[in-house]
Amino acid sequence: MLDSISFFRVIKSGMTNFIRNPWLSAAATMVMTITLVIFSTLFLLFTLTNYSIRTIQNTVDISVYFKLGLAEEQIAKIKSHVESNSKVQEVTYVSAQQAFEDFKTRHANDPLITSSLNELTENPLPATLHIKTHELSDYPVVADDLQNGQYKNVIDKVNFEDNRVAIERLNRVLKFIITFGLGLVVIFSIIAILVIYNTITLTIYNRREEVEIMRLVGATNWYIRGPFLTESILYSLFSTLITTGLLLPIFTRVIPKIIDYVNPQLNFYGNNIFNPLFLILVLFALALALSIVSMFLATRKYLKI
């Protein structure tokens, strides 16, 4: 490859290329920035939508309220009946006593409720089963089986929060983001490759005499290609920096608002849900990949190396 003297000469030469053609460099950096902004917007939308779907999916379950005073053995039988259904993922039993305790702890800070609870002689809360199914579409089936099946006489109420419509809508949004967004990213990546290819071709054209003499006097291929590689790395670096600058207000202002709306308790930047640093690294890697591909295409065609 290159020794250290040549390495520094190559870097210097690449920087000179970058600075001597400010408009070309600006155009290449801008089109790369646009590609990165589109990519990161997409990435953020995808992460947010995906997270929202998971959050809402977790809130869906069937609650089965039994009539007061039903024997534990009877409930255990119903529980194992539900569990034997292959559509069911998980069944949790909350006894009447447990429900009462939970209620008390939940409202421990509310003196009005506490005092009224103290006046009760008997537990007004029923025993319940909480059921989660594997698939969203299984909820109505399982609910219907309990409402109208063999145990309907001992069951007081079957409740399930039907968020399926919202979830399906979100799923459609997600699909749209993926197809439309990926299409955009591909289109802009191609534009970026073409623009950088042309920029480097023009730089090669500007320096064709130097390049010809370099080849003639025995410069290695890496020495000839090096300045153009440096130039491509500079495009990637600057476009990543500009994109990061544009994204900062989104990270600090827009995302917290959305999170407040979806789930205020959520630590979006922790918990491995979203790491801005990771996104920036991905952006830089994408920019590098695009510009280096363009550089290799241009140098292979015009430098015959």
Residue pair 2/227 in contact by the 8 Å Cβ criterion: no
Sole residue written with tokens 């809130």: 59
Among 73, 119, 122, 209, binds another protein (CB under 8 A): 209
Q: Is 219 in the site for another protein (CB under 8 A)?
A: yes
In the chain, where do the E strands start and end? 62-66, 88-94, 128-133, 155-160
- Answer yes or no whether residue 11 interacts with another protein by CB under 8 A: no
Is 8 an interacting residue with respect to another protein (CB under 8 A)? Answer: no
Shortest Å, Cβ 304 to another protein: 10
Q: Per CB under 8 A, does 123 bind another protein? A: no
List for the chain the helix, strand, coil content (%; round to 5): 70, 10, 20
The minimum distance between CB 225 and another protein, in angstroms, equals 12
Q: Among 72, 102, 110, 212, which residue sits at the site for another protein (rule: CB under 8 A)?
A: 212
With respect to another protein, which residue has the nearer C-beta, 257 or 304? 304
Q: Are 204 and 302 in contact (CB under 8 A)?
A: yes
Q: Is 145 exposed, middle or buried (0-12, 13-18, 19+ CB in 10 A)?
A: middle
**Least distance to another protein, CB of residue 2, Å:** 8
Look-up: residue for tokens 């109505």?
140
Residue 210 interacts with another protein (CB under 8 A): yes or no = yes
Q: Identify which range of 5-13, 73-81, 149-157, 195-203 contacts another protein by CB under 8 A.
A: 5-13
Q: Give yes or no for residue 137 binding another protein (CB under 8 A).
A: no
Cα 281 to Cα 36: distance, rounded to the nearest angstrom = 11
47, 95, 220, 263: which one binds another protein (CB under 8 A): 220
Nearer to another protein, 55 or 221 (CB): 221
Dmax over CA atoms of the chain, in Å, equals 102
The H helix count followed by the E strand count for the chain is 11, 4
Q: Give me the least distance between CB of 21 and another protein, in Å please.
A: 15
Least distance (Å) between residue 24 CB and another protein = 19
Interatomic CA distance for residues 103 and 243, integer angstroms: 50
**What residue ranges bind another protein (CB under 8 A)?**
2-3, 5-6, 9, 209-210, 212-221, 223, 305
